[in-house]
């Protein structure tokens, strides 16, 4: 099945700076890559997703890039704000019927 | 509010016991997914149901079972509980399948096994 690796596990940035979280996946047939944000004590919520026929997608301060050849995708958050502090999960769905596989998460800390 | 309802929110039980977690998906969603979240393992996919039928299976233990009923609600049964089963169990739903869009998560059921 699919295997998703996510780095770093913890990321601390100054408010206003950019943050980048990287993920790699194993199944070359994977074609859907969402990112979920989970605030402390809350449920995960989708913030952005990208499909394999697109190399980059942007939504205000967040963007996702996908490199299918290298099998990696990244989340970019610009002009970080205190409310960006959360755990971010990348995910991928493999070519088989094996559900959505999540990375282990990145705890993003925004320092004032 | 995602529209996905999970009960109970919290559950404390002893080793060897059996519990049932319940999930009602968003109105109109046919797919239900169960995930286990523990501190060191992130979100582990357990199982997916689509319109009453099992669609995909992840790392679900044999001691665990699930089903989706005709009204589309789902139950996750955990038996012969061990300390390591303590975790937050999330249910999520989607309109059809994952490739068609967003997963909507419930608030989770926190299971503590003592």
Q: Which two three-digit tokens encode residue B104?
A: 């909507």
What's the average model confidence in pLDDT over B24-37?
Answer: 93
Peptide bond into A8 cis (omega under 30): yes
Asked whether the beta carbons of B44 and B59 are under 8 A apart, the reply is yes
- Separation in Å, CA B74 to CA A56, A79, B7, B20, B62: 36, 41, 11, 10, 18
Identify the pLDDT of residue B19: 98
What's the average model confidence in pLDDT over A3-30?
Answer: 95
Identify the pLDDT of residue B75: 98
Comparing alpha-carbon positions, the chain B residue that sits nearest to A48 is: B102
Q: Which two three-digit tokens encode residue B19?
A: 């519990």
Are the beta carbons of A49 and B102 separated by less than 8 Å? yes
Q: How confident is the model at residue A109 (pLDDT cuts 50, 70, 90)?
A: very high
Identify the pLDDT of residue A2: 81
- Return the residue in A9, A36, A44 with the most chain B beta carbons within 10 A, the one to mutate for interface testing: A44
Q: What is the pLDDT of residues B59-99, one digit of tens each?
A: 899 999 999 999 999 999 999 999 999 999 999 998 866 55
Q: Which two three-digit tokens encode residue B66?
A: 């699930």
Are the beta carbons of B43 and A97 separated by less than 8 Å? no
Count CB neighbours of B19 within 10 A: 18
Would you call B68 exposed, middle or buried from its count of C-beta atoms within 10 A (0-12, 13-18, 19+)? buried
Residue length, chain A? 112
Q: Which two three-digit tokens encode residue B97?
A: 């399948």
pLDDT at B26 over 90: yes
DSSP letter (8 states) at residue A69: T
Count CB neighbours of A32 within 10 A: 18
Are the beta carbons of B42 and A34 separated by less than 8 Å? no
Identify the pLDDT of residue A97: 55
Q: Which two three-digit tokens encode residue A40?
A: 């402390």
Q: Which of A42, A45, A89 lies closest to B43 in CB terms?
A: A89
Identify the pLDDT of residue B8: 97
Would you call A26 exposed, middle or buried from its count of C-beta atoms within 10 A (0-12, 13-18, 19+)? middle
pLDDT at B51 over 80: yes
- Return the residue in A34, A100, A107 with the most chain B beta carbons within 10 A, the one to mutate for interface testing: A100
Pick the closest to residue B24 from B40, B1, B42, B46 (CA basis). Answer: B1
B residues 23-62 closer than 8 Å to A (CB): 33, 35, 41-45, 47-48, 55-58
Pairs from B39-42 (Cβ < 8 Å, separation ≥ 24): B41/A104, B42/A89, B42/A102, B42/A103, B42/A104, B42/A105
Q: What is the pLDDT of residues A18-67, one digit of tens each?
A: 999 999 999 888 888 999 999 988 999 999 999 888 899 999 999 999 99
Residues in chain B within 8 Å Cβ distance of A102: 35, 42-45
């Amino acid at each position: 099945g699919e295997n998703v690796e996510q780095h770093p596990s913890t990321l601390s940035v100054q408010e206003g700076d950019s943050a980048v979280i990287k993920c790699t996946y194993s199944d070359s047939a994977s074609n859907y890559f969402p990112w979920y944000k989970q605030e402390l004590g809350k449920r995960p919520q989708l913030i952005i997703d990208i499909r394999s026929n697109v190399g980059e997608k942007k939504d205000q301060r967040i963007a996702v890039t996908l490199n299918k050849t290298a099998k990696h995708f990244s989340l970019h958050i610009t002009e970080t704000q205190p409310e960006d502090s959360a755990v971010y999960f990348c995910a991928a769905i493999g070519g088989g019927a094996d559900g959505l596989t999540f990375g282990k998460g990145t705890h993003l800390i925004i320092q004032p | 509010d995602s529209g996905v309802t999970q009960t109970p929110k919290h559950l404390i039980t002893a080793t060897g016991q059996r519990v049932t977690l319940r999930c009602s998906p968003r109105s109109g969603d046919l797919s239900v997914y169960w995930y286990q979240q523990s501190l060191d393992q992130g979100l582990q996919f357990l199982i997916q149901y689509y319109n009453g039928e099992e669609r995909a299976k992840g790392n679900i233990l044999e001691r665990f079972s699930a089903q989706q009923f005709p009204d589309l609600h789902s139950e996750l049964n955990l038996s012969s509980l061990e300390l390591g089963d303590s975790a937050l169990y999330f249910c999520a739903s989607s309109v059809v399948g994952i490739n068609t869009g967003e997963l909507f998560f419930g608030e989770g059921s926190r299971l503590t096994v003592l």
